[in-house]
Structure 1
Amino acid sequence: MSGFALPQEGGCRCGQVRLKITAKPLLTMACHCTGCQRMSASAYSLSAAIASEGFSITKGQPVIGGLHGASRHYFCPHCMSWMFTRPEGLDWLVNLRPTMLDNPGWFTPFIETWTSEKLPWATTPAVHSFEALPAFDQYEGLTRQYAEQAESL
């Protein structure tokens, strides 16, 4: 996480919604699922898992977009930038799109998910790859390993 310092601030493309993080990421990811491909208009989406208490909206009011399902995807109501996701059943966690930060240069995905749906040419420098999502009991070890790696940078 070279160049990472707290707090970090960021916002959508038009600047109407601004946010702030005051906690280090628990894990960084690239998701290759077709849903993320369509919502990001890219080969995969990027996310940094941030503890909810370390995340705040400082300006504006994001709106729910995407599938409007149990996992809530938040967008700027004006420019429609996909900013973050609150995964179903994980209220203590926010999956922030790290490119919304003013300084995203520190970001590198540690894991990649849904590689079973990835585009054949799409590659990432992720340390771990999963055909779907990791089993829930694997996250503790992955977050510990990520924290150890992040401290050494």
Structure 2
Amino acid sequence: MSTPNIPNDPATGDWQLPWEGGCRCGQVRLRISAPPLLAMACHCTGCQRMTASAFSLSLAIPTPGFEVTAGEPVIGGLHGDSHHCFCPHCKSWLFTRTEGLDYFVNIRASALDHHEWFVPFVETWTDEKLPWVSTPAKHSFGALPAMDAFPALIEAYAKEGARPAKR
């Protein structure tokens, strides 16, 4: 699979980068230095089980703009094509890397120190969502969108996605 054409956001200042984040206990710390490609809510039953909630929230961050700055995350979840990475001490789910999609890392939005600005732009696996759940996502898919839909979604998010408030 080829890497999608990632829009070059000349106004990265409106993203208020860099961002810091980490697990609940603070042993694993993260740094984000590139604008996200997408903000998502996933309603799949796997995410429901891993979060003990109705859905998971994530930001797709270009891989060069993501780094673990402290601690050593461990792989949890199903140990398959998706590597769900957790703090080894408090077990917080922090991010996911998916084999074959090496150009981004999905970080849990709530792992950011300041995530109050987060609004999902895309929601996936709505065929599995709990019947009472709704999100403000502008784009909704019963499963995962087709891979050829992502370039347009990424471009739209670069223009319309929620941004952190100015600090």
What TM-score, normalized to structure 1? 0.95
- From 137, 144, 148, the equivalent of 2:148 is 137
Partner of 2:57 in structure 1?
Answer: 46
Q: Which amino acid aligns with 1:44?
A: F
Q: State whether structure 2 residue 119 is matched by structure 1 residue 102.
A: no
Q: Secondary structure at the match of 1:105?
A: coil
Is the CA contact 1:25–1:48 (under 8 Å) kept in the aligned structure 2? Answer: yes
Tell me what 1:64 maps to. 75
1:128 aligned partner, one-letter code: H
Indicate which of 16, 21, 38 corresponds to 1:10: 21
Alpha-carbon distance, 1:150 to partner: 3.2
Q: Write the deviation string for residues 25-83 of structure 1: whole angstroms up to 9, x where unpaired.
A: 10000000000000011000000000000000000000000001111000000000000
Q: Is the 8 A contact 1:4 1:106 kept in 2?
A: no
Q: Which ranges in structure 1 are unaligned for 5 or more consecutive residues? A: none
Secondary structure class of the residue paired with 1:53: helix
Q: Give how far 1:88 is off.
A: 2.2
Q: How many residues align?
A: 151
Structure 2 unmatched ranges of 5 or more: 1-13
Q: Give me the identity figure in percent.
A: 64
Distance in 2, matches of 1:90 and 1:130, equals 19
Mapped pair 1:149 → 2:164: no
Q: SS state of the match for residue 144, structure 2?
A: coil
